[in-house]
A = this chain, B = another copy of it.
Amino acid sequence: MEQFSFYNPTRIEFGSGKEAEIGKHLAEHRISNVLLCYGSERIKREGLFDVVSRSLAEQGITFVELGGIVSNPVLSKVCEGIELARAHGVDAVLSVGGGSVLDSAKAIAAGAQYEGDVWDLFVGKGALTSALPLFAILTIAATGSEMNGYGVVTNEETQEKLSIGNDHTRPKVSILSPALMAGVSRDYLAYSAADIISHLIEVYFTATVQPKLQSRLVESLINTVIDTTRSLLDNPADDAARGEFAWAATLAQNGLTFSGCAGFGYPNHAIEHSLSALFNVPHGAGLSVVMPAWMKWYQEQNKSQFERFAKYVFGLPSAEEGIAALERWFVEIDTPIRLGQLGIQESDLPAIVANVQINVKAFGIADAYPPHVVTDILKRAL
């Protein structure tokens, strides 16, 4: 085990209906005026907006709305949020939605307290030293953003998809209400499953120090995702499966699975972020394309761990069979496994490879992923 610090003070409130208590949590943190961030108008049609605004009103908390945050959230919207937050002097940011809304909310919370251009914080030109307190009601489980400090945003002008975050942008309270997640489409359920699995395998396969305890936890969570995704595709009303799926998503990216590991990277994310940045594909769909290609390319570098994966996830004897089984499972749940399914052609590869170089630098793995390697990986996904 490598040395580590584990500090995760986000309060998770898990349970259907708990969204009605959001006002109480904000009041406990002495919040009086909040920026309420959300995506589509669906939360208004389906009643969630009313529940939230009533809960805030009960505590005398006022709010300003920032709607229209999209998947693969963009910098321009973050800047709009920062202006709103400043103009109205809000003392907190509340995200009502999925990972994209929450990631935007994190950037807004940090940007509102940063004097310069918020993009400085993404490219390392400025330091994230404070942020408005952040609260979340999650409507789709996937990114794990609800229990960590990280957020990813795309700069539309530069076509860069980069991340910020530290303890300052960790939510104070995140409400995970499985009932709110029941409306997720089959597509997005599958993309979410791929996203969660990607969070679990990056460290698992790439770490130079990967204790067995952490491998076991990862396998427990992958097996949970596989089981519960199947259950939910069969029966979207399976509340127990919905809950386990959601909690697995949170645990997959809250520090638990990689504390004690060392020497790891996020190559699948580095590559996928370019697919989303350039082609606006759903993050999870991009990941289910990148992962099998990357695994086929990488497996020789850590054969025994790939054999472990095959054995403990799929009950299969070889690294190759484990990878093939994951790919088959992606097909089964109907998330793409080839670039063509995302509308990306071989002729697009040079632009992607160039963009990936920005990301591998940001992720600190540029040496291992020069352009010819990224090309090699992506060709396996054609």
Contact = CB atoms under 8 A, between A and B. Distances in A.
A3 interface: yes
Nearest to A9: B9
Nearest to A250: B6
Number of copies: 2
A16 interface: yes
A178 B1 CA distance: 9
A11 B7 contact: yes
A309 to B, nearest CB: 15
A15 B7 contact: no
A219 B211 CA distance: 16
A46 interface: no
B259 A256 contact: no
A86 interface: no
Interface string A1-17: 11111111111111110
Contact of A244 (B213, B240, B244, B247): B213
B12 A9 contact: no
Interface stretch (A152-160, A220-228, A263-271): A220-228
A18 B12 CA distance: 29
Contacts of A243: 1, 211, 260
Contacts of A11: 5-7
A216 interface: yes
Contacts of A6: 11-12, 14
Contacts of A244: 1, 211-213, 260
Interface in A151-192: 178
A224 B220 contact: no
A251 to B, nearest CB: 8
10 contacts: A1-B14, A1-B240, A3-B16, A6-B11, A7-B9, A7-B12, A8-B8, A212-B227, A213-B224, A219-B220
